[in-house]
Structure 1
């Protein structure tokens, strides 16, 4: 029987969703699946990153630098997609939306059909729009 292929796609500015993605990776590996943990490309201006100490620290960390960026090939490869992204005003961050906006060709060719998809999100505050963020992923 072939191993299930799991892509864990995350965006993390300060490390919270990176940690969630790590835990998801550990869980998937314990189920003896093939796993790829992938980050969405950072598109924020360097000035914005430098202006937030936590963001700057995570962005410049060795952990972050070691991570592979997500590609459309990863979506096509996977049987299961797990998203971990922060909430930004009730939606996904622009870094994630930009990537999702490039998937039209895969969708049109039916290459995103019949995949299991789940998602998790985080926000600094209660009632921060987490539920609408999850809906925007689906």
Structure 2
């Protein structure tokens, strides 16, 4: 594989989407990609975070993870987003970050970025598909190339069978219910394969 630059851009309050991002990073490195794992800025007031021990602990544990910028998006050939669902939409922290990409978009620098997305919710019908689709709506405006996992590997069925992107349910204790690690890794490798085709086709 020619060197594909992969940015994994995530938001995570208590760690689920951070774990998805870590598995994706492992797969990206295994495939020979240059990988950056990047968090979007936290918007929640400190008082809200203080009231949730798991949220506070995760914020402190990931203090050293670099914060995503539009420069990272420009750098990347492929971008994998991981974000929890909030009432069937992406978390506001991710939406706020995407809303800062107007300058990049206006310069045509989001065109032909190869993208995919993952999500989590507290139950299988908690808006997981809608959340991924809401994120892809932005990608259509970007002129990006959306790569979904579809049903291209048995790991997708084992993970719950979401063709839009890997999604996982999380119980009240913050533990993942479905086994999605292999689905995440398959989705990442598929994203990189298509990104490599695009890169070769563009002669980059």
> What's the TM-score bracket when you normalise by the shorter of the two chains?
over 0.9
* More RCO (CA 8 Å, sep 6+): 1
Q: Which residue of 2 aligns with 1:87?
A: 85
Aligned-pair CA distance for 1:67: 0.2
Alignment of 1:96-107 (within 5 A): 96-107=94-105
Distance in 1, matches of 2:4 and 2:124, equals 35
Aligned-pair CA distance for 1:32: 0.6
SS in 2 for 1:117: strand
Q: Which residue of 1 aligns with 2:7?
A: 7
Distance in 1, matches of 2:78 and 2:14, equals 25
- Number of residue pairs matched? 136
Distance in 2, matches of 1:72 and 1:15, equals 23
Q: Say yes or no: does 1:34 pair with 2:34.
A: yes
Distance in 1, matches of 2:73 and 2:81, equals 11
SS in 2 for 1:65: coil
Q: Which residue of 1 aligns with 2:65?
A: 67
Q: Which residue of 2 aligns with 1:119?
A: 117
Distance in 2, matches of 1:31 and 1:67, equals 22
Distance in 1, matches of 2:75 and 2:2, equals 13
Q: Say yes or no: does 1:17 pair with 2:17.
A: yes
Distance in 2, matches of 1:132 and 1:111, equals 26
Residue by residue over 1:28-73, the C-alpha shift from the partner in whole angstroms, topping out at 9 and shown as x without a partner, is: 0001111110000111100111111211111122xx0110000000
Q: TM-score, normalization: structure 1?
A: 0.95
Distance in 1, matches of 2:78 and 2:17, equals 18
Residue by residue over 1:85-110, the C-alpha shift from the partner in whole angstroms, topping out at 9 and shown as x without a partner, is: 10011111111111100111111211
Q: TM-score, normalization: structure 2?
A: 0.65
Distance in 1, matches of 2:32 and 2:78, equals 13
Runs of 4 or more above 2 Å deviation = none
Aligned-pair CA distance for 1:126: 2.4
Mark the structure with the bigger radius of gyration: 2
